[in-house]
């Protein structure tokens, strides 16, 4: 079964950068649509950016131009490069995936959390001066 372990979070000043990593085990990411999600205190979990098995991407308007999702299928790892961080980016960040036979990209391209599975434990990102 596919499992994820996220890392790379931490405390960063506004305007700074972080690169989150999500290492997968138990299955190859080649056949999964994958995504990064976040949940701030008192708020619902939201999609940040999602990436299809064919490398189509969607990204939330709130992070467009600042965040980039990518994958390395050799390392079976998903990344989220976060630049120009803002205090409102503070949240626990999670990765998750859905197998291509379970849902097609048009179904999951909304990057809605309830379409994804195999959640990792999350990594805390805090943006503060």
What was the pLDDT predicted at 7? 97
C-alpha closest to that of 104 among 30, 28, 33, 3: 33
What was the pLDDT predicted at 101? 87
Q: Which helix (H) or strand (E) holds 106?
A: helix 105-108
Contacts of 41 (CB under 8 A, 6+ apart): none
Q: How far apart are CA 28 and CA 14, in angstroms?
A: 35
Q: For residue range 19-28, what is the model confidence (pLDDT) as tens digits?
A: 999 999 999 9
DSSP string for residues in 65-125:
TTEEEEEETTTTEEEEEE-S--GGG-EEEEEEEEETTTS-HHHHTT--GGG-BS----EEE
Q: How far apart are CA 89 and CA 61, in angstroms?
A: 13
User: What does DSSP assign to residue 14?
Assistant: T
Question: Which residues of the chain have a pLDDT value below 70?
Answer: none
What was the pLDDT predicted at 20? 98
What was the pLDDT predicted at 129? 95
What was the pLDDT predicted at 29? 92
What was the pLDDT predicted at 102? 86
What was the pLDDT predicted at 113? 95
What was the pLDDT predicted at 12? 98
């Amino acid at each position: 079964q596919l499992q994820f372990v996220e890392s790379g979070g931490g405390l960063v000043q506004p305007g700074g950068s972080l690169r989150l990593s999500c290492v997968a085990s138990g299955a190859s990411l080649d056949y999964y649509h994958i995504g990064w999600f976040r949940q701030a205190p008192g708020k619902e979990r939201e999609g940040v950016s999602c990436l299809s098995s064919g490398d189509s991407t969607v990204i939330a308007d709130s992070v467009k131009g600042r965040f980039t999702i990518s994958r390395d299928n050799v390392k079976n790892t998903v990344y989220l490069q976060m630049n120009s961080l803002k205090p409102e980016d503070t949240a626990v960040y999670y990765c998750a995936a859905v197998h291509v036979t379970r849902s097609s990209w048009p179904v999951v391209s909304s990057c809605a959390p309830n379409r994804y599975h195999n959640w990792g434990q999350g990594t805390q990102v805090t943006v503060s001066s």
